[in-house]
Structure 1
Amino acid sequence: MAPVTRWSASPVAEDAPRTGGPGPRAAAVLVFMSSAAVLVVEIVALRLLAPYLGLTLETSTMVIGVALTAIALGSWMGGRIADQVDPRRLLGPSLGLSGAVVALTPAVLRTTAEWAAPLLLLIASLTILVPGALLSAVTPIVTKLRLTSLAETGTVVGRLSGVGTLGAIVGTVLTGFVLVSRLPVSGILIGLGILLVAGSALVEWRRRGWSGTPALTLVVVAGGLATTVAPGACDTETRYHCAQVVTDPDRDGGRTLVLDGLRHSYVDLDDPTYLKFTYVRALAAVTDAAFPEGEALTAYHLGGGGLTFPRHLAATRPGTRSLVSEIDSGVVRITRDQLGLAPGAGIDIRTEDGRLGLRRLDTGSRDLVVGDAFGGVSVPWHLTTVEAMTDVRRVLDEDGLYAANLIDHGELAFARAEAATLTEVFEHVALVGPRTDGGNMLLLASDRPVDLRAAQEALDARGTDWTITTGDALISWIAGARPLTDDHAPVDQLLEPYSPQNSR
């Protein structure tokens, strides 16, 4: 941090420019740090809320909207109050109070989510709005102090505005590329709270000494201690998820990978052929119907999780080679360290986005492509479009099969749109799903017909109670749903509300 220039309280005429404020470097540091802090809070808030609200477009929109409201409110109120009160009295409290709120945020949000869920949106909004507004008020306050002459108004305002924007950029990049990958979100916010309270103490000490600093320090310490006992903490925080591995009390080797509160994978460390989740049993059934028993396959998996199905293929079809694109390196690490993935199991993992992974595959190089990538309960939109499915068709050989797991409820608007999308690309499409509407389901697509009778027998044999819909019945079910494209794929908006405990 650049040195902070000492300043003193100097009486000024009411209509005269103020003097005795922070020097140019001190002013730049204050504006830079406060603007960066606003963006850190915004990005980390998304991480904190994902286990409870899902990592959806709606959640992101809400957080961004509240953050922008805080910036607008803080800028307006900060400037207005600075015209009515000596602005030198405002800097320390703005930094200190925002630091205290930021440090308490992890404990407050997690406790609210577990014990008072209906209040979560309100409390989440306040934990973004209050520190965001206080920190955004710093720029107009500092600007007021730096305006020693009306002749340099444009220069001062432009310089500090630019510094604030640069701070916001640095806060965004630092959080997204460095902090989140190395620190838990609670640690980021508590650390930020400490920095803000320390900045408040320094500002007030430079001015006149402030007795409120010890009290705010105690609040920050309390926030850190509360975070250690607050409910909902993660075993591991990855780049994208709050992750936990839960032991199955009924099976010694059973492990469930839970990401953001949702069950994503079940793995039996002792028996990779054991498939607990219904959709994975259905996936195994349709694969067995589509390819000769025991035949080795060349498979590609969009999304990895605990790698339940790649393990199953390796165990039941010796010689199978599976390539997996998993975007979250933390999930890959958990799978290797806690879910018993041994090297040389015929499974290769690339930490990459699935759409980019598709582009790297040779034409006609895969017998089977499995779509099982999720952000919450939503398939990432760019893996659902006609353009993405065209790439899937390209990498499949002439007898290849694409099987996609998805989740939908209610009117199944997303499922119908995705089925319409597949009919634009493949000759044969089928829906495999439960007899009751809602939950997990599979969409199958190929350029050769699948033996539906064999597939249904395999589904029944695995106890899925799922049925197959294809042909005219599928077209009728799609009922005019629009195919999804890179230009228009409103996946999050098409999905119906869900109950996390019932999904997967």
Structure 2
Amino acid sequence: MKSNAYLLLTVFVSGMTTLGVELSASRLLDPFFGNSILIWANLIGLVLIYLSLGYWLGGRWADRDPRGVTFFQIIAWGAFLVGLIPFFAAPILRWSVAGFATFDAGILIGSFLGVLILFSLPMTLLGMASPFAIRLAVTDVSGAGRIAGAVYALSTLGSILGTFLPVLVLIPNIGTRRTFLLFSVTLLCIAIGGLFQHSRRTGLLYLGLPVVLAILLLFGSGGPIKGGKTTLYETESRYNYIQVEKEGEDILLRLNEGQGIHSVYTPDDPLVYGIWDYFLVAPYFN
């Protein structure tokens, strides 16, 4: 088991990345589709499909090519594709919203298509980690059960960390985009370290992947989260995506996908002639 320590570390970080990406994906979809139970059903269901496909493909691939260098190449590409998600998410999700806005089930279909395009390949590749790692770690069938148990235990422990880390720490402090990049670069560094252990030449070639992500972060991370012609300000809080828009003389505060208006401000009139005016009488109940 000691000789498999780096392999098990990779499985742990891969499990952390998988759930970290899934939880962060919900915040990526918020500005476009909201966070209703339909969106969560699409997200969880599709991710489970990708992971199932990854388990199946990973097991078959491992039997055909049981080499460490192949394993770490798969992990490296999965991590790299995770890092690309925040840079391509906005145009793809805008297209998904616009393409199905006229349908009654537009939110369901649009979010389904958005998740399908963005997450299918990286999550499938990450799903290959555990079966491939088991194939590499098992040298004696008499210890296969113990090794398989250790691999899945560490993967699950990583997933637990990946569940809470983005929600409680990363997204509130560094935002959704950088959360994706942090998970991506962490796993990518682990994968490249594994490649150097098996093939220095291959490891050197794969050093180009984090360089690409660094260039994208430097030149492509300054754009709006969702944006719009009337948007004055947008940001992420611990709980919501927040957008301030100007419509005529009114300034609106919208949350998440923006279907509901949280509050309205009119500079030249204390009344906005809507339900928000009822809050003006609140001080008189004190």
User: Would you say 1:113 and 2:93 are equivalent positions?
Assistant: yes
Say if 1:180 and 1:125 are closer, same or farther in 2 by CA, change over 3 A: same
Say if 1:216 and 1:152 are closer, same or farther in 2 by CA, change over 3 A: same
Separation (CA, whole Å) in 2 of partners of 1:157 and 1:32: 13
Aligned to 1:58: 38
Q: Secondary structure at the match of 1:129?
A: helix
User: Would you say 1:237 and 2:233 are equivalent positions?
Assistant: no
Contact preservation (8 Å) 2:185, 2:210:
yes
The Cα offsets for residues 320-351 of structure 1, whole Å up to 9 and x where unpaired, read as: 24xxxxxxxxxxxxxxxxxxxxxxxxxxxxxx
- Stretches of structure 2 lacking an aligned partner (at least 5 in a row): 100-109, 228-232
Contact preservation (8 Å) 1:99, 1:220:
no
Separation (CA, whole Å) in 2 of partners of 1:31 and 1:231: 32
The Cα offsets for residues 279-306 of structure 1, whole Å up to 9 and x where unpaired, read as: x16xx6xxxxxxxxxxxxxxxxxxxxxx
RMSD of aligned alpha carbons: 2.5
The equivalences for 1:357-396 within 5 A come to none
The equivalences for 1:69-88 within 5 A come to 69-88=49-68
User: Would you say 1:260 and 2:256 are equivalent positions?
Assistant: yes
User: Would you say 1:187 and 2:164 are equivalent positions?
Assistant: no
Contact preservation (8 Å) 2:245, 2:252:
yes
The equivalences for 1:10-409 within 5 A come to 23-115=3-95, 117=97, 118=99, 121-209=112-200, 210=202, 211-224=204-217, 225-229=219-223, 232=226, 235-247=234-246, 250=249, 254-262=250-258, 263-268=260-265, 273-277=270-274, 280=275, 309-310=278-279, 312-314=280-282, 318-321=283-286
The Cα offsets for residues 469-489 of structure 1, whole Å up to 9 and x where unpaired, read as: xxxxxxxxxxxxxxxxxxxxx
Contact preservation (8 Å) 2:138, 2:144:
yes
What is the TM-score with the length of structure 1 in the denominator? 0.49
Separation (CA, whole Å) in 2 of partners of 1:35 and 1:114: 29
Separation (CA, whole Å) in 2 of partners of 1:41 and 1:22: 29
Q: Secondary structure at the match of 2:253?
A: strand
Letter of the aligned partner of 2:220 in structure 1?
A: A
Structure with higher helix content: 2
Separation (CA, whole Å) in 2 of partners of 1:229 and 1:191: 18
CA drift at 1:256: 1.2
Contact preservation (8 Å) 1:111, 1:231:
no
Report how many residues are paired.
Answer: 266
Q: Secondary structure at the match of 2:152?
A: helix
Say if 1:230 and 1:93 are closer, same or farther in 2 by CA, change over 3 A: farther
Say if 1:63 and 1:116 are closer, same or farther in 2 by CA, change over 3 A: closer
Separation (CA, whole Å) in 1 of partners of 2:43 and 2:133: 27
Contact preservation (8 Å) 2:96, 2:111:
yes
The Cα offsets for residues 118-141 of structure 1, whole Å up to 9 and x where unpaired, read as: 376434223222221211211111
CA drift at 1:84: 0.3
Q: Secondary structure at the match of 1:244?
A: strand
Say if 1:221 and 1:22 are closer, same or farther in 2 by CA, change over 3 A: farther
Separation (CA, whole Å) in 1 of partners of 2:136 and 2:179: 31
- Stretches of structure 1 lacking an aligned partner (at least 5 in a row): 1-20, 285-308, 322-504
Q: Secondary structure at the match of 1:267?
A: strand
Letter of the aligned partner of 2:184 in structure 1?
A: G
Say if 1:219 and 1:126 are closer, same or farther in 2 by CA, change over 3 A: farther
The equivalences for 1:395-474 within 5 A come to none
CA drift at 1:243: 0.7
The Cα offsets for residues 208-255 of structure 1, whole Å up to 9 and x where unpaired, read as: 1224313312332344233323661572111232112234552xxx53
CA drift at 1:152: 0.6
Letter of the aligned partner of 2:271 in structure 1?
A: Y
Separation (CA, whole Å) in 2 of partners of 1:230 and 1:257: 17
Q: Percent of pairs identical after alignment? A: 23
Letter of the aligned partner of 1:264 in structure 2?
A: I
Separation (CA, whole Å) in 1 of partners of 2:56 and 2:9: 21
The Cα offsets for residues 91-114 of structure 1, whole Å up to 9 and x where unpaired, read as: 222222122211111221211223
Contact preservation (8 Å) 1:103, 1:193:
yes
Letter of the aligned partner of 1:212 in structure 2?
A: L
User: Quick check: 115-124 or 125-134, which moved more?
Assistant: 115-124
